[in-house]
Amino acid sequence: MMRAAADCGHAAVDLQPPGDCGARAVAGFRVALGSRSIVMTNDLEYENVVMEFRGRGATVRALDTFNFHVAESEFVVVVGPSGCGKSTLLHMTAGLMHPTAGRVMLGGSIITDPGPDKAIVFQNFSLFPWKSVRSNIDFGLRINGMPPAERNELIDRYIKLIGLDGFENHYPRQLSGGMQQRVAIARSFVMRPRVLLMDEPFAALDAQNRQLMQEELVRIWSAQRPTVMFITHSVEEAVFLADRIVVISRRPGRVKKVLDVTAVAGASHWRMDPFEDVIRRPDFQELRAEIWGLVKSEIQLRS
Amino acid sequence: MTDIHATAGAPPVDAADDASRRMPMPSARTLLVTAVILGWLGLWWAAVVHLDVSKDFLPTPYEVAHRILVLAYEPLGAGTLWTHAAASLVRLLSGFAAAVAVGMPLGLLMALIRPVNHMVTPLFELFRYIPPIAWAPFAIFWFGAGNNAQAYVIFTAAFPPILINTFRGVELVDKRLIDAARTLGARAHTIIAEVALPGALPYVMTGLRIGLAGGWMALIAAEIVAGTGSRDGLGYLILQGQQSLAADLTIGAMVLIGIIGTLIDIVLQRVEARTQSWRH
């Protein structure tokens, strides 16, 4: 799969229209399996997903019959009160946890193990502190057996893309939070994942950096267009970035409401425009207020 | 005496810092340490001279230094000073190497595989409260009096801190880093080599330092107790000094033990700093 990714997708990183890469843009990307060639889709299917944690004596149900479908290349943002099982959902999608009942499927097959096709970006960056920026980005490519020449070219391109040229040999500790998260994002995107999972990736950043990172994420994402599941506490962030927003109820988490942002944001989607312009739009504000109302009712119910 | 006064009356700290900035070598700290050592030596010397202490009871620092210098070219027992120091170091390193070879992998396995932890821990808890020197007679049963018995005693001293610190270090590695590695496609061996071990390295290094220091201390005891038959090693020098009533030799060997121990630790600190440049 690494090979398939390297063959086609990376041309698109130069911010050319994704149309370059027909198979990928239209229906998924091609994987050669021996002589056969199949087309994989990158949609996510959550089917009656239940997740329970056994604590001291008591069993806590984090997610309850969660049903949802994320289309290929769709950008879905999940919001909900603290403890509603958002992170659990993401960890299950990454293959780091398994549901107590129900199924989570990527492209029609049940997710069993973590792997580079399901990249995850964590809130605390989770960079390897003893590896330089360059080796952090290189890690996934190297252990999956990509030849050095190819890797170096890719890494150079991504380091440039996230604006960190000159910092290749710095250690994470020497970078600001925003720079560290850029590295983490590059480390994920360079793998050309089928699905990108983001667990409150910008929550640890200050407001200015957060805004810059949102715009940068859109830029990198639109070149590659993996399917995205993005978790956030920021309703504004959700409305700005999402194709669709899923509001999850308080624990045990269920789908409370799904809102279609594309219907409001227009054909080219407002996330392509500067954040400070978009945030002033009345339709943006209206949607923001609606979602905040939904989330707030869940928080108030709780207390 | 005068040295101590000189140190106490030294200019305040900011001035000392200033001096260190102007002079690249030696640093203010080195000067201070040297002055303090000289002060204590002076005190020792003055006490011996003024109180008219017998040479057999406590020789002067000069006499001790002289005895050691003579030993550097004049053999005693198996050889000169260098032979004895080298013999002790070889024993230390063989016992220490065995402790590393067993302690590090076992600590790693205990942290990664719960049943291993459950099986080893009770035995280990018992083991680590047995003082190294208590192993000496037993070591002689097994290995005979000689190098192997001594190396085994060093092993028993160095092994517990190496195992505990490796275990603790691996256990405390940020689980999110392991998750991150797994989502990037890392398998067990990659996670161990590139996440668990580098993450545990600060602990492992501490374990190595404590283990080596413990091993060095146990060695001398082992040479005195389990060393019957061998006529080399710093412990042998101490024993010779005692048997021939040469206090200068005994004290000289003790000072050497202290100096070599300090040098070993300095080397390890350097290694530690070099392997962890990413922390600064």
- Percent of chain A scoring above 70 in pLDDT: 86
Distances, alpha carbon B30 to alpha carbons A239, B37, B268, B277, in Å: 62, 11, 19, 23
Contacts of B174 in chain A (CB under 8 A): 126
In a domain, B69, yes or no: no
Q: How far apart are CA A1 and CA A249, in angstroms?
A: 37
Least Cα separation, residue B192 to chain A (angstroms): 13
DSSP B85-98: HHHHHHHHHHHHHH
pLDDT averaged over every residue in chain A: 83
Q: pLDDT tens digit string along A88-100?
A: 999 999 999 999 9
Q: How far apart are CA B277 and CA B257, in angstroms?
A: 31
Kindly report the pTM of this predicted structure.
Answer: 0.77
Average pLDDT over residues A201-223: 87
Q: How far apart are CA A43 and CA A74, in angstroms?
A: 8
Q: How far apart are CA A224 and CA A161, in angstroms?
A: 13
A24 and A112 assigned to the same domain: no
Question: Of the candidates A91, A116, A172, which has its C-beta nearest B184's C-beta?
Answer: A116
Least Cα separation, residue B124 to chain A (angstroms): 29
Name residue, tokens 């392997």.
B275
Q: Is B45 exposed, middle or buried, given 0-12, 13-18 or 19+ CB atoms closer than 10 A?
A: middle
Interface of B with A (CB under 8 A): 174, 176-177, 179-187, 190, 194-195, 198-199, 201, 276-280
In a domain, A272, yes or no: yes
**Which residue stretches of chain B have pLDDT < 50?**
1-21, 23
Check CB contact under 8 Å for B180 and A115: no
Q: How far apart are CA A142 and CA B218, in angstroms?
A: 45
B275 and B199 assigned to the same domain: yes
Number of domains present in the structure of chain A: 2
Q: What share of residues in chain A are helix, strand, coil (percent, to 5)?
A: 45, 25, 35
Confidence of residue A39 (pLDDT cuts 50, 70, 90): low
In a domain, A173, yes or no: no
- H or E stretch covering A258: strand A255-260
Contacts of A127 in chain B (CB under 8 A): 180
* Domain that residue B203 falls in: 81-279
Antiparallel, parallel or unpaired: β A244-248 and A75-79: parallel
B10 and B100 assigned to the same domain: no
The confidence score (pLDDT) of residue A297 equals 86
Task: Say whether pLDDT at A249 is over 60.
Answer: yes
Confidence of residue A212 (pLDDT cuts 50, 70, 90): confident
Give the phi and the psi of residue A163 in degrees, each rounded to 5: 70, 30
The confidence score (pLDDT) of residue B13 equals 39
Q: What is the chain A residue with the closest CA to B174?
A: A126
3-state secondary structure of A96: coil
For CA atoms B237, B242, B243, B245, the dihedral sign is: positive
For chain A, give me the number of helices (H) and strands (E)? 11, 12
- Per the DSSP assignment, residues forming a β-bridge with B152 are none
Interface of A with B (CB under 8 A): 91, 94-96, 114-116, 118-120, 122, 124, 126-131, 139-140, 143-144, 171-173, 187, 191
B135 and B264 assigned to the same domain: yes
A6 and A104 assigned to the same domain: no
Q: pLDDT tens digit string along A156-166?
A: 999 988 888 89
B24 and B143 assigned to the same domain: no
Q: What is the chain A residue with the closest CA to B186?
A: A143
- Per the DSSP assignment, residues forming a β-bridge with A248 are A255
Contact between A279 and A239 (Cβ < 8 Å)? no
Q: Minimal CA–CA distance to A119: which of A106, A133, A109, A134? A: A106
- H or E stretch covering A60: strand A59-70
The confidence score (pLDDT) of residue B227 equals 59
The confidence score (pLDDT) of residue A298 equals 84
* Domain that residue A88 falls in: 43-117+193-302
Q: pLDDT tens digit string along B224-249?
A: 876 556 788 888 888 888 888 888 88
Q: Tell me the residue type at A98.
A: H
Tell me the ipTM for this assembly: 0.81
Q: What share of residues in chain B are helix, strand, coil (percent, to 5)?
A: 80, 0, 20
The confidence score (pLDDT) of residue B228 equals 57
The confidence score (pLDDT) of residue B241 equals 87
